[in-house]
Amino acid sequence: MELVNERDIEPLHVDGDRGSVDVYDALSGPVVAGVRIVAPHSRVPRSPHSHPERQLIYVISGTAQITNGAETLQLRPGDHVLLEANEEHYVITADAPVKLFEVRY
């Protein structure tokens, strides 16, 4: 058993097309899991963005949008988003930061 607190993780700062996201991965390897804090007024990550893994995003706090170019979803705390492998996607924030939990598998 191991306890990891996000305060103990050195975040990876990722710039987007605008704004940024700080990535706190507690688990990396074939499965990646951790917290993302998306800055206000962001569209992250840079486009185009996709990856070969499926992805689950859970909204912890704040509100945002996520788009794959064809469809845009409004996100609020408690929402889960499921993305297929290689599905292009972006998170868009307004005036406040958004805290997400992400698993790529």
Condensed to tens digits (0 to 9), the pLDDT of residues 35-64 reads 999 999 999 999 889 999 999 999 999 999
Q: Which residues pair with 62 in a beta bridge?
A: none
Domain regions of the chain by residue span: 6-104
**Looking at residue 79, what is its pLDDT?**
98
Starting at the earlier edge strand, list the strands of the sheet with 80-83. 12-15, 20-27, 32-38, 98-104, 55-61, 80-83
Low pLDDT (below 70) residues in the chain: none
**Looking at residue 90, what is its pLDDT?**
96
CATH, range 6-104: 2.60.120.10
Q: Which residues pair with 43 in a beta bridge?
A: 18, 92
pTM: 0.94
**Looking at residue 96, what is its pLDDT?**
98
